């Protein structure tokens, strides 16, 4: 080893290593005198001592060369402005994408890592084997029971959410989503306190902890500590004193809260002992395990511990029917906090993401970068003839292959360096668009994080070396004498360049095809006949979940709207697309059929414009309608009923209902799913959650203000909260819309960069063939034939790329369409159009410059020899 | 005439003394004998190269010997130019020290 080091650092030109011989002799003398070990130690010390100086020497020499390389690189950049511009522009766009997507991915990966104890925090996952899904909302008493039985559990925190709680301070009322938590919540998780004493505040059941943003919302610039907020829970009200302010929850946290109160308030809001209720599916439970604890050990024994408690509770409430049935199939598992964000594809309950998203985005960014790098390579190879002389002179003066390669690396790293500076600027400018597309809250600051800087530097070096290697190898192989004798001729664009161009266009065409098919599918979904008229419908959230009170509130609201001219019809319902879904189960001779259940009010069919096929709508003329049901065609088909009207069906444990009407199928869920069997019933003793208002299309803004006024007249605690039904339905496809935009943007940029490459190459080809073109003109070639000469090559390459991409794009997009139950039949056009577009663009870009050459007077181009 | 550095002077001196046996290892031993210090090989190699470049010494290869791991020795010999320079140095040295009263050196 040491011998190798010395050899490496003391190159002996004679190759005889006489110096090493001397050292060996000294080694042997020392060995004889002081023993082998001392000799070896000496040898090593010598070897190691030699390192710093050697490195210094290498640096000193190479920096001299480096200066020269840099100078040449900059001169070249200045000399070939267009080419350098194309390189830098392409690379900086590609790098900008990479930067943004790096930010995205690092944000994804940073989720929940900021908690100091993240490694030992586990979330309890509830696996319901009856309804076959997993979620995080377990019974409230679960965590305390586990803590009593497992000494490995250091502490636990439960989080119960209560939505639609009107909170009032002076004239400010907002509808809030509050969290009830154990006092340990703030100790287990590392959310940062800001003001007051949030830690101790949670111990009292009349204190509230707010985040900074929430505090600002209510109190503006006033000091929030000690202020009193009035909470309304149903018909109860309770004042809370603000005792602590937390920093806003970081955007990379899975757990989110804005208002925290003590969990004992559950007993105040609901019945007195709801905190011991095993039925509820409301508490997210988190366990903090001791350092050496084995989660698998707890996981395996959890069910056994919990079962007796659970059964004892159910024993007292046998009448809960299906809830007990499902409750008894439940098993529990643990999931580490850090896995929640990316590893919960089948666990409901917290916002989650998919690691595939990061992969796809990363792949897109790298593809764009690849296209830019290909431009760089092609341009360098194309320009090789111009630089052949320089390279040859260098070679003649003794530059080795290695040194030439180094030179080109340095040139490309230089370009990459300039590009990343520009790329960062572009990234900063595009950050707002990117944030909306990726629903992230990325800031410019994360760009200057140490990690990011290291990644960017690595990126520069990688891009530089990748882009510099091919041209370097081409040039290093020049035949010296040929070039200097002026015999050198660049072979026409070689196969390698052609393959690279095909690759570039394949990528661009693929993305273009993908974005066209995506937007077609989205338009198809938008225009699909859902079985009801989604335009002009306003969904007003009644924010009252209590059965009779909500019915009363609805009636008041409906009456107040009766006189309004713009309101065409009003009804109410319990579930509405993308808001709440309730499913019941019909037991059809042992086969479970899940039925979408909706509790509605009179005029629902009329308001929604759902068409009756047979039978009648609910009507106040029939008092028996409380036990009637209207079903959709699908349910009739599934049950195989021939004469549905008058038949009875039994949904879940409820009493049987008589079918009075059959309606056309309607799609209340996303069109990714098949239409579901549905049943509408009407029970005035049970709750309505939303008012459905059909308004006329004119003066919508004014109508909404009127509705708001009327809403405020009939009650004073709840703010007016509404949405348009078609917006709610569009929300099903947010993800698709977002992906469509992302793919659209990237296809635009890939085509842009690829075309810049084509332009650059035309420039070079034309310049190389100026004389040829001149001679052709003299011999009578027409303008068109000259254009054809230069451009046909590119067009052919683009067409080849098309043919390669079609089957691939077709297969991939069909796979994507499999996500949807209702698919657009995209036919051949989405494949043809991008082909034609790209071919045309390539043609036009290359025509632009060749036209100039073709028009030029041949006398000019031929004169100078 | 050029003045030699002290190191170069010492090296030339020891090469002369070693006569036929002047190669790096022995030079190092000789230097140790004269100066009482262990010299780093690096210092010796570099100075030898420099002396050769300035033509004070010339070198030739010897035979392989087993105790050197099969590597050959590079012997050094002072050239006539080197000898001339050394002689001049010696004259200057003697002149320099001749009249210097000893008490001046012992003052401190």
CATH number (domain holding residue B34): 1.10.10.10
pLDDT at position A479 is 67
- Helices A355-382 & A81-109, crossing angle to 10 degrees? 160
For chain B, the first-to-last Cα distance in angstroms comes to 35
Residue A481: partners with Cβ closer than 8 Å, 6 or more residues away: none
Judged on CB neighbours under 10 Å (0-12, 13-18, 19+), A491 is: exposed
Residue B55 forms part of a structural domain: yes
The two tokens of residue B32 are: 């140790």
Residue B54 forms part of a structural domain: yes
Q: Which residues of A touch B61 (CB under 8 A)?
A: 14, 16, 18
What average pLDDT does this structure show over A631-648? 87
The values of phi and psi at residue A350, to 5°, are -130, 150
Q: What average pLDDT does chain B have?
A: 82
- Residue A22 near residue B68, CB atoms below 8 Å: yes
Quote the minimal CA–CA distance from A446 to chain B in Å.
49
Contact A153/B at CB under 8 A: no
| Enclosing H/E stretch for B91 | helix B80-98
d(CA A19, CA B72): 9
**CA distance to A139, A141, A279, A283, per residue, from A309 (Å):** 11, 9, 11, 17
Residue B35 forms part of a structural domain: yes
d(CA A48, CA A28): 19
Q: Which range, of A715-724, B40-49, B60-69, averages the lowest pLDDT?
A: B60-69
Residue with tokens 């010997």: B65
- Residue A539 near residue A416, CB atoms below 8 Å: no
CB nearest B25 (choices: A14, A25, A50): A25
Which A residues in the span 30-59 are in contact with B, Cβ-Cβ below 8 Å?
46, 50, 53
* pTM score of the predicted model: 0.73
Say if residue A602's pLDDT is above 60.
yes
pLDDT digits (tens, 9 = 90+) for A339-379: 888 887 778 777 777 788 888 889 988 999 899 888 888 88
Say if residue A734's pLDDT is above 90.
no
Residue A65 has a CB neighbour count (10 Å cut-off) of 14
For chain A, the first-to-last Cα distance in angstroms comes to 61
Q: Which residues of A749-775 are buried (b: 16+ CB within 10 A; e: fewer)?
A: bbbbbbbbbbbbbbbbbbebbbeebbe
What average pLDDT does this structure show over A690-696? 91
What average pLDDT does this structure show over A222-241? 88
Residue pairs between chains A and B whose CB atoms are closer than 8 Å: 48
Of residues A185 and A735, more confidence is placed in: A185
Which of A180, A173, A215 lies closest to A194, judged by CA? A215
- Residue A716 near residue A166, CB atoms below 8 Å: no
pLDDT at position A320 is 55
Residue B105 forms part of a structural domain: no
**CA distance to A91, A361, A368, A424, A456, per residue, from A453 (Å):** 18, 20, 21, 11, 5
Query: In a 3-state reduction of DSSP, which class is residue A149?
Result: helix
The two tokens of residue B73 are: 């020795």
Number of H helices, E strands in chain B: 5, 2
Show the domain range for B56: 6-100
What average pLDDT does this structure show over A746-751? 89
Q: What average pLDDT does chain A have?
A: 83
**CA distance to A539, A611, A619, per residue, from A533 (Å):** 13, 10, 21
d(CA B68, CA A477): 42
d(CA A673, CA A665): 13
pLDDT at position A11 is 47
pLDDT digits (tens, 9 = 90+) for A289-339: 998 888 888 888 888 888 888 887 777 665 555 555 666 778 888 999 988
Quote the minimal CA–CA distance from B13 to chain A in Å.
19
d(CA A158, CA A139): 10
Model confidence band, residue B67 (pLDDT cutoffs 50, 70, 90): low
Residue B1 forms part of a structural domain: no
d(CA A110, CA A113): 5
Q: Which range, of A18-32, A536-550, B44-58, averages the lowest pLDDT?
A: A18-32
What average pLDDT does this structure show over A476-497? 64
Number of H helices, E strands in chain A: 27, 24
| Enclosing H/E stretch for A219 | helix A212-219
Nearest chain A alpha carbon to B63: A18
Residue B106 forms part of a structural domain: no
Query: In a 3-state reduction of DSSP, which class is residue B87?
Result: helix
| Structural domains in chain B (count) | 1
Residue B86 forms part of a structural domain: yes
pLDDT at position A469 is 82
CB contact under 8 A, A26 and B61: no
- Reported in sequence order, the residue ranges of A30-116 that DSSP labels E, i.e. its strands, are none
Residue A45 has a CB neighbour count (10 Å cut-off) of 11
Residue B107 forms part of a structural domain: no
Indicate the DSSP class of residue A495.
H
Contact A862/B at CB under 8 A: no
pLDDT digits (tens, 9 = 90+) for A424-463: 899 889 888 888 887 777 877 777 777 888 888 888 888 8
């Amino acid at each position: 080893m040491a011998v190798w080091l010395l050899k490496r650092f003391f190159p002996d030109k004679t190759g005889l290593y006489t110096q090493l011989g001397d050292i060996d002799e000294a080694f042997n003398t020392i060995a004889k005198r002081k023993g082998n070990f001392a000799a070896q130690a000496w040898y090593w010390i010598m070897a190691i001592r030699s390192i710093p100086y050697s490195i210094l020497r290498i640096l000193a020499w190479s920096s001299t060369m480096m200066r020269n390389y840099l100078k040449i690189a900059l001169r070249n950049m200045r000399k070939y402005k267009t080419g350098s511009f194309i390189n830098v522009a392409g690379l900086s766009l590609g790098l900008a994408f990479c930067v943004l997507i790096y930010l995205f991915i690092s944000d994804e990966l940073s989720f929940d890592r900021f908690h100091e104890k993240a490694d030992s925090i586990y979330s309890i996952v509830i696996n319901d084997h009856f309804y076959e899904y997993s979620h995080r909302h377990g019974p409230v008493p679960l965590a305390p029971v586990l803590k009593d039985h497992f000494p490995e559990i250091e502490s636990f925190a439960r989080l119960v959410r209560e939505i639609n709680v009107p909170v009032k301070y002076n004239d400010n009322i907002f509808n809030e989503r509050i969290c009830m938590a154990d006092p340990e919540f703030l100790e287990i998780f590392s959310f940062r306190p800001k003001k007051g004493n949030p830690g101790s505040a949670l111990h009292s059941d009349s204190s509230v902890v707010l985040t900074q943003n929430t505090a600002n919302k209510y109190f503006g610039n006033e000091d929030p500590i000690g202020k009193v907020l009035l909470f309304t829970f149903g018909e109860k009200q309770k004042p809370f004193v603000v005792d602590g302010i937390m920093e806003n929850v970081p955007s990379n946290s899975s757990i989110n809260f804005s208002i925290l109160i003590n969990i004992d308030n559950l007993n105040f809001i609901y019945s007195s002992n709801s905190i011991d209720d095993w039925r509820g599916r409301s508490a997210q439970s988190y366990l903090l395990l001791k350092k050496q604890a084995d989660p698998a050990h707890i996981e395996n024994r959890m069910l056994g511990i919990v079962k007796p408690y659970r059964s004892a509770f159910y024993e007292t409430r046998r009448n809960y029917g299906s809830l007990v049935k499902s409750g008894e199939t439940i098993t529990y598992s643990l999931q580490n906090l850090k896995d929640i964000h990316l590893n919960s594809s089948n666990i409901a309950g917290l916002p989650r993401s998919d690691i595939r998203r990061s992969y796809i985005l990363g792949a897109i960014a790298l593809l764009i970068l690849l296209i830019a790098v290909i431009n760089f390579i092609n341009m360098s190879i194309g320009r090789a003839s111009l630089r052949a002389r320089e390279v040859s002179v260098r070679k003649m003066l003794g530059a080795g292959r290695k040194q030439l390669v180094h030179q080109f690396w340095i040139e490309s790293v230089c370009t990459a360096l300039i590009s990343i500076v520009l790329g960062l600027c572009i990234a900063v400018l595009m950050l707002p668009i990117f944030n909306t597309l990726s629903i992230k809250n990325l800031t410019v600051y994360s760009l200057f994080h140490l990690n990011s800087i290291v990644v960017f530097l690595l990126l520069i070096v990688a891009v530089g070396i990748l882009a510099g290697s091919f041209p370097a190898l081409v040039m290093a192989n020049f035949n010296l004498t040929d070039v200097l004798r002026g015999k050198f001729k660049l072979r026409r664009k070689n196969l390698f360049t052609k393959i690279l161009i095909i690759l570039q266009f394949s990528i661009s065409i693929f993305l273009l095809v993908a974005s066209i098919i995506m937007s077609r599918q989205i338009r198809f979904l938008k225009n699909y006949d859902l079985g009801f008229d989604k335009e002009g419908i306003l969904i007003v959230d009644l924010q009252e979940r209590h059965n009779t009170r909500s019915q009363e509130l609805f009636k008041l609201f409906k009456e107040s709207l009766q006189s309004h001219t713009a309101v065409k019809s009003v009804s109410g319902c319990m579930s509405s697309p993308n808001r709440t879904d309730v499913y019941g189960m019909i037991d059809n001779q042992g086969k479970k059929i899940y039925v979408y259940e909706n509790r509605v009010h009179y005029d629902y069919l009329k308001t929604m414009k759902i068409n009756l096929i047979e039978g009648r709508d609910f009507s106040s003329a029939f008092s028996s309608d409380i036990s009637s049901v209207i079903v959709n065609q699908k349910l009739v088909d599934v049950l195989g009923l021939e004469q549905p009207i008058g038949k009875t069906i039994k949904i879940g444990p409820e009493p049987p209902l008589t079918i009075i009407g059959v309606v056309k199928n309607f799609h209340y869920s996303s069109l990714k799913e098949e239409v579901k069997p549905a049943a509408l019933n009407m029970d005035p003793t049970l709750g309505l959650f939303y008012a459905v208002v059909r308004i006329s299309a004119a003066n919508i803004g004014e109508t909404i203000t009127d509705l708001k006024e009327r809403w405020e007249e009939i009650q004073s605690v709840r703010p007016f909260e509404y949405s348009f039904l078609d917006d709610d339905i569009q929300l099903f496809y947010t993800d698709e819309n977002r992906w469509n935009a992302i793919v659209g943007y990237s296809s635009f940029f890939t085509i842009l960069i690829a075309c810049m490459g084509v332009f650059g190459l035309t420039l070079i080809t034309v310049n190389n063939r100026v004389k040829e073109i001149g001679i052709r003109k003299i011999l009578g070639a027409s303008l068109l034939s000259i254009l054809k000469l230069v451009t046909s090559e590119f067009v052919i390459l683009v067409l080849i790329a098309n043919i390669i991409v079609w089957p691939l794009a077709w297969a991939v997009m069909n796979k994507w369409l499999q996500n949807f139950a209702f698919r657009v039949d995209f036919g051949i056009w989405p494949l043809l159009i991008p082909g034609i577009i790209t071919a045309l663009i390539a043609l036009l870009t290359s025509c632009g410059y060749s036209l100039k050459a073709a028009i030029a007077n041949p006398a000019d181009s031929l004169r100078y020899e | 005439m050029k003045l030699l550095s002290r190191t170069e002077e010492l090296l030339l001196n020891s090469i002369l003394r070693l006569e036929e046996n002047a190669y790096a290892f022995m030079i190092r031993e000789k230097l140790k004998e004269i100066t009482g210090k262990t010299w780093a090989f690096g210092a010796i190699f570099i100075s030898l190269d420099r002396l050769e470049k300035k033509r004070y010494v010339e070198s030739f290869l010897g035979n392989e010997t087993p105790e050197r791991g099969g590597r050959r020795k590079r012997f050094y010999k002072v050239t006539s130019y080197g000898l001339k320079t050394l002689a001049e140095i010696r004259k200057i040295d003697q002149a320099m020290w001749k009249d210097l009263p000893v008490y001046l050196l012992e003052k401190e």
